[in-house]
Structure 1
Amino acid sequence: MKPTQTDDGPTDPGTDGATGVDGGRLVGSDRVLAVLKELARHPGGVGLEELTRVMGSPKPTVHRALGALRRAGLADQDARGRYVLGDEFLRMAFAHHEARPDHVRVRPVLDALAGRFGETAHYAVLDGHEVVYRAKFDPPTGAVRLTSTIGGRNPAHTTAVGKLLLARELTSLEEVEAWAGAPGGLNRRTPRSLCAAADLHRELAATRERGYGVDDQENETGVNCLALPVYLTSPTAPSGAVSISALAYRTPLASLVDALDEIRALLNEPNG
């Protein structure tokens, strides 16, 4: 059988030259996508030398991948010659995000919550061992920098939204133990993170009983959070969860719990 040709030269016939991995080395479109993802980690731009070092690939192959991305408008070079995400990529990403039904429907709620409490409001969904933030609203004033970003991820077991959504899926200690036994175990984000399966199981049981999730400085020191389910696609299964992430010294967790009725009322308002 004739070897398949890639831009790195011939590959083994068993390797998919378009999207495969050859001996742990990215080839073809997989490499192009890996370069694209790496560019997203450098909003200030990144030079070819640094990108080559981070990618662990030869400079010519990284340069070819950048060339393909530039021709598609997904990458560009700034005035300093550093590579950045292209305007076409940003246009597609923002257009897609703005058109998502869940984002559009939950936006008024997040805006109202951020304005009412003067803290950041999120909408997030569960994806395996992590939560993914679909929408985020900062308050008009007093916003602080959090680890959450739209499209970003945080561990499910350390976040209020994650524990709330996990509580529906993991109802026994055995299920929690199997989930927590994933490769690498559970990450400890702060000294308060619940990383033992038994501790997490008790917290999930308490979450089911009270109907809301809490994060008592378990994901970020100095930040607490309260989350409630949102039913955008089904009247019985939550599509995700809305949360208020607050500075502990400014808005204690107890204050958010005391405001539960008001938060629920905002969630149930028309367009909410």
Structure 2
Amino acid sequence: MKCALVTGGSRGIGRAICIKLAAMDYYVLVNYKANEEEAEKTMSLLRGKGGNGELLKFDVGNKAQVTQVLGGWIEKNAESNIEVLVNNAGVKDDVLLMWMKDEQWDTVINTSLNGFFYVTKLVLQNMLMQKYGRIINIVSLSGLKGLPGQTNYSAAKGGVIAATKALAQEVGRRNITVNAVAPGFIKTDMTEGLDEKQLRSLIPVSRFGEPEEVAHAVGFFASAESAYITGEVLSINGGMYS
């Protein structure tokens, strides 16, 4: 059984990615940290479109949980291969650096950057043995351009971008690609507090993006046809920055 793991798959971009990969005939492992109701909704939507999968509850930034839950699943399902890994889990806690508390820095860095490390290291082992894999990291415009009030988030996503490029060089010979998708303003819970009308003037296409537009790009990177593309960062931001 070919499987795809999506971290932070319960809502927004993660949910759209889960549905997209299910449509590509992957058995989708939907990771979530706390919101079981939204995770169940994702699974219901996925199955409603003819897909299948299961929920995996763990905090990507907690090494012990990753090892216990994800490591346990891998051990119990030796006949199944996680061919696609989408590192989507992330949090933001915006504040100017001069007022940023240690925990605001630690939480954001831990979820995106440490989470990438813990999950990818575990999943990569089998990809190397199978000599096939697709790793797609969801980063951000903030990690490319930097945004005021997001020093922690920019550092976390910028770190994942650098890690994407480095890991791509390490595993390319094993037919494993590692790419990143960098969304700009996408209609999700993370952007619901922003004034879209005011921000439209900054976006050449004059609108916020849809989660499905990000998922479409992830689906391309997850496909066998993208085998000669690795170490790349694809911006999905309506032309704001590249």
TM-score by length of 1: 0.26
Structure with the bigger RCO (C-alpha within 8 Å, sep 6+) is: 2
Q: Greater strand percent: which structure? A: 1
Larger Rg: 1
The structure richer in helix per residue is: 2
